[in-house]
Structure 1
Amino acid sequence: MKTAIILFNLGGPDGPGAVKPFLFNLFSDPAIIGLPQPLRWLVAKLIAGRRAPVARTIYDHMGGRSPILPNTEDQARALEAALGPEFKCFIAMRYWRPRARDQVAAVKAWQPDRILLLPLYPQFSTTTTGSSVREWQREARRAGLDAPTTTLCCYPANEGFVEAVVDGVRAGLARMDRARPRVLFSAHGLPKKIVSAGDPYQGQVEQSVAAVLARLALPDLDWVICYQSRVGPLEWIGPSTEAEVIRAGADGVPLLVVPIAFVSDHSETLVELDIEYRELARQKGVPDYVRAPTVGATPSFIAGLVDEVRRAMASGRPIVSGEGPRLCPGDRVGCPCGETR
C-alpha cells in the first residue's frame, strides 16, 4: 500500500532576497497574528519590513540562508530508508518553499493509497502543527486530493525522541568540567494569551522534559525549562532563556543548553543559542556554556518516528497522538485529539 508521509516544518529563507517575503508569510498567518483582513496584511507588511534587516544579519551567520530544508531532507531520506519502498516523504514548509500547494500536486501525481501528516514538532501547538495542517487541508481540497488521511498531532514523550535528547544531554555533560552544571531545556516561546486560550504546547514541553529526566535518572540534576525567541510587545510564557542565562551568571554555575522543541538546526539554535546567548553568558560570567545537539537524523529519533508512523497507520483514526487518543488535560481545548473522542 503506497503511503505518502507529509513532513511539516516551519521553513526558512533560501537566500537574502527571501528573508522579507518569508517574514511576511509568517506574520500574515492568522495563527500568529489573529487580526482580521486587511489589517493583518498591513501589520505583516510593516513587521516584515522592519525586521528584515536584522533577520538578514542573522542569516548571514549561516551563509545567507536557513539550513532547515536540507536538514529536513536528511530526515526525510532516513525515514524513507527505515520504512521501505512503499513509503515516500514529501516536505511541506509553512512559510517558505516547498509550500503545501506544491507538495499537494506532487502527492496527487504519486497517487498514494493513504496519507500521513507528520509534523516535525514533537509538541503540538495551534501556531505550528495546527497551522500547517489547516493549510494542507485547504490546499488538498482545492486540488481534489482525497486519499484517506491521518494526522499525527504530537509525540512529546516518544521513546526515540527522548533517547536522542538524552544522548545529547549526556554528550554535553561529558564535555563539561567537574563543576555541577545547570541544564536549560530551551523551547520556542509563545504569547501567554495563546496558552491561556487552551493551546497545549507548554504542557507538552513539560511532558518531554519529564520523560528526558526520567530516562537520565540523575536525581541531583539542576535543571529548568525556559523559552526563547520572544518578539513583539505581548507577555510570553517564561522564564525566558535570556533571563536564565543571566541568572546562571549571577549564581556562578556553568550551563548546558538543550533544545527540547527543535529537531534540527536553524537560526534559533545556530545563531540565538550558539552565538547570542553564548556571548551573553560570557558577558555575565557564566563559567562554561555548552549547547547539546538537536536530534536531527539520529538513528534513535528516526526509529521513534518509524514507531509513530506504524502506530498511526494502524490506528484507524483521523487524528492520532503519540500515546493514544488524547495526551492533554480537558482544559487544553486546542488539542486536536479532542475532536476524535
Structure 2
Amino acid sequence: MSFQYLLRSLAGTRAVLKSAHPTTPFTWQPARSLATSTNTIKKPPTAVLLTNMGGPETLDDVHDFLHNLFSDRDIMQLPWQKQLAKIIAKRRSPSIREQYAEIGGGSPILRWTRAQGQAMEKLLDEISPETAPHKHYIAFRYVEPYTDTALQQMKEDGVKRAVVFTQYPQYSCSTTGSSLNELQRGIDRAGLTDQIQWSIIDRWPTHPGFVEAMAVKIERKLAEYTAEERRDAIILFSAHSLPMQVVNRGDPYPAEVAASVQRVMERLGNQNAYRLVWQSQVGPKAWLGPQTSDALEGYAKAGKKNIVVVPIAFTSDHIETLYELDHEYGAEAKKAGVTGWKRAEALNDDPVFVKAMADIVKEHLQKNESASKQWYLRCPGCTTDACQTTRDFFPYKILDNKA
C-alpha cells in the first residue's frame, strides 16, 4: 500500500520598484527567491487488528467476561439467552474467580498480546517499509479492549488500510468467526464502512514460522529429560475442545488443528510418539474427544511416566494453560504416577513467534487478497445468518494496497 503526502506551497512575490527617472513608470518584477512553507500530513499507519477472545484482567472482570461469553449467539444459541447468561455468569463467577486468583489474580492475555503487537509492528517496519508505519490494535471479544474500542482508536488515527489478524492459528466459527461477525457489526456502528480498506488473515495453522516456533518450544522441554527418558516421552498436543454439534455441522477447526500437529511433528523428525487431545469441555453434551485428562489417565495406567503436553491452539498463556494444564492436569499427573509431566511453554513474546507474526502479515499484504478463499466457504450445516452477512460485507477481491 502507498499513501500520498499532501503538500501545500505558498509562493509570494516581492515588488521591486525601480525608477531611473522621475517620469519612468513603475516596473514590477518577480522576486528572485520564493518564500515557501510546506505542511505535511502524517501518513496514517497500516493497522494490524489482533483479534482474540480475551480474558478478565482482574478478578472484578470475571463476571462481565462470563456474561458476555454466554450472551454470544454466534457461538451458542440458547432459549431465553439473555436471562440464562445472567444466571450462568452469576453462578460460575465464584469458582472461576478462584481459578484466576490461583494464577495471579487475572488473565495475562492482554499483556502478552500487547507485547506481541509492539514487537511485531517494529519488525514489520523493518521488513515491509513500503507499508510502514505499522500499528497494532487489539479487539477482544468479551472484555476490554472491545472491538468498538479498537475501531474508535483506528478512527482517531485516520487509518485507511487495516489487516485483521486472528490470533487463533486454526479457524473456528466459535472463535475467529464470532470475532469477524462482531467486527462487521462494529464497523457499521462506527460508520467506517467506506473509510477503511480491510483484509483478513483468517487462519494460519501450517505457516512455517508458527510451526518452527512450536517445535522450538517442544525441543526445549524435551531437552529437560535424560536421553533415556526422552526416547520414551509422549507428546500430547492439547487444544480447546468443541461441542460435537459444532463439529458435525462442518467446523474446520479439528482438521486444522490436526494439520498443525502433523507439520510440527514433521519438523521434529517424528522422533516421539504423540496424540492430539482436547481440553476445556463444559456441560453435559457430547464434545470432541478424547479429553486431555482422560488421555493422561489412560497413559498413566499404561505405565507411561514422561509426558509433554503442548498447547497447540494457544499463542499466549491464559487460564487454559496456567490453571487447567499446570494446576489441574499437573496434579492429576502426579497423583497418577506420571513423574515426568511437563508443559511446553506458550509462545507469548518469543522472538521466533514474533518473527512469524511479522512474516504472516507481510506475506498477506503482498498477496493483495481480501481474505483466503477458504474463509468464504461456510460450514455445510451453517444456519447462522450473521456468517453470510459478514462474508458479504468483506467480499473477496484483489486489493490495490493504495487506500
TM-score, scaled to structure 1: 0.93
TM-aligned CA deviation for residue 78 of structure 1: 0.8
* d(CA) in 2 for partners of 1:142, 1:330: 25
- How far does residue 330 in structure 1 lie from its aligned partner after superposition? 9.0
Give the corresponding residue for 1:251.
302
The structure-2 alpha-carbon separation of the partners of 1:113 and 1:328, relative to structure 1 and needing over 3 Å to count, comes to closer
Aligned to 1:23: 66
Deviation at 1:316, TM superposition (A): 2.8
Shift of the alpha carbon at 1:340?
4.2
CA distance in 1, matches of 2:67, 2:270: 44
How far the C-alpha of 1:329 sits from its partner, in A, is 9.3
> Kindly tell me: are residues 274 and 40 of structure 1, through their superposed partners in 2, closer, same or farther at Cα, counting changes over 3 Å?
same
Residues 261-281 of structure 1: per-residue CA shift (max 9 Å, x gap):
000001000010011100000
| Structure-2 separation of matches of 1:133 and 1:315 | 20
**3-state DSSP of counterpart to 1:121:** coil
1:11 equivalent to 2:58? Answer no
Q: Which residue of 357, 362, 369 corresponds with 1:310?
A: 362
Which amino acid letter does the alignment assign opposite residue 302 of structure 1?
A: V
Match of 1:79 in 2: 120
Distance in 1 (alpha carbons) for counterparts of 2:376 and 2:249: 14
Aligned partner of 2:205 in structure 1 is: 156
Match of 1:109 among 143, 156, 177: 156
Other-structure match for 2:275: 224
Is the Cα contact below 8 Å between 2:202 and 2:375 reproduced in 1?
no
Match of 1:61 in 2: 102
With 247-256 and 329-338 compared, the bigger mean Cα shift is at 329-338
Corresponding position: 1:261 with 2:316: no
Which residue type is aligned with residue 153 of structure 1? D
Percent identical residues: 37
- SS at structure 1 position matched to 2:209: helix
Which residue in the other structure is 2:128 paired with? none
Checking the alignment, whether the CA contact within 8 Å between 1:257 and 1:290 is kept in structure 2 is yes
Answer 1 or 2: higher relative contact order, Cα 8 Å, separation at least 6: 1
Task: Return the offset for 1:174.
Answer: 0.7
* Residue number in structure 1 paired with 2:90: 49
In the TM superposition, what is the alpha-carbon distance from 1:304 to its structure 2 partner? 1.7
Cα RMSD for the two superposed structures: 2.1
Tell me what 2:223 maps to: 174
Supply the distance in 1 between the matched residues of 2:275 and 2:376 (Cα, whole angstroms).
21
Q: Which ranges of structure 1 fall in alignment gaps of 5 or more residues?
A: none
Q: How far apart in 1 are the matches of 2:278 and 2:325?
A: 11
Describe the SS at the equivalent of 1:319.
Answer: coil
Deviations 1:10-41 (A, max 9, x none): 111122211111100111111222136xx111
1:295-339 Cα distance to aligned partner (Å, 9 max, x none): 12222222222222122222332213xxxx439999767799997
SS at match of 1:273: helix
Contact map agreement 2:163 2:201 (CA 8 A) in 1:
yes
Structure 2, unpaired ranges of 5+? 3-44, 126-131, 398-403
Structure 2: distance between partners of 1:6 and 1:116: 6
Post-superposition Cα deviations, 1:94-141, rounded to whole Å, max 9, x if no partner, equal: 110100111111001111221100011000011111111111111111
SS of 2:217's partner is helix
Counterpart among 330, 352, 372 of residue 278 in structure 1: 330
Q: Is the 8 A contact 1:28 1:40 kept in 2?
A: yes
After superposition, the Cα gap between the structure-2 partners of 1:166 and 1:333, relative to the gap in structure 1 and judged at 3 Å, is farther
Higher deviation after alignment, 25-34 or 258-267: 25-34
Whether 1:88 and 2:135 are equivalent positions in the alignment is: yes
Q: What is the correspondence of 1:193-212 to structure 2 with a 5 Å cutoff?
A: 193-212=245-264
Aligned 8 A contact 1:3 1:86 in 2? yes
CA contact (8 A) 1:6 1:90 kept: yes
Q: Which has the larger radius of gyration?
A: 2
Q: Provide the residue aligned with 1:242 in structure 2.
A: 293
Using the alignment, how far apart are the partners of 2:249 and 2:275 within structure 1? 24
- The SS at the match of 2:202 is strand
Say if 1:161 and 1:295, in contact at 8 Å, map to a contact too: no
> Structure 1 328/228 Cα, relative in aligned 2: closer, same or farther at 3 Å?
farther
CA 1:10 to 1:331, structure 2 compared with 1: closer, same or farther past 3 Å?
closer
Matched, 1:188 2:240: yes
CA distance in 2, matches of 1:125, 1:330: 11
Partner of 1:292: 344
Distance 1:31 1:330, change over 3 A: closer
Secondary structure of the corresponding residue to residue 293 of structure 1: coil
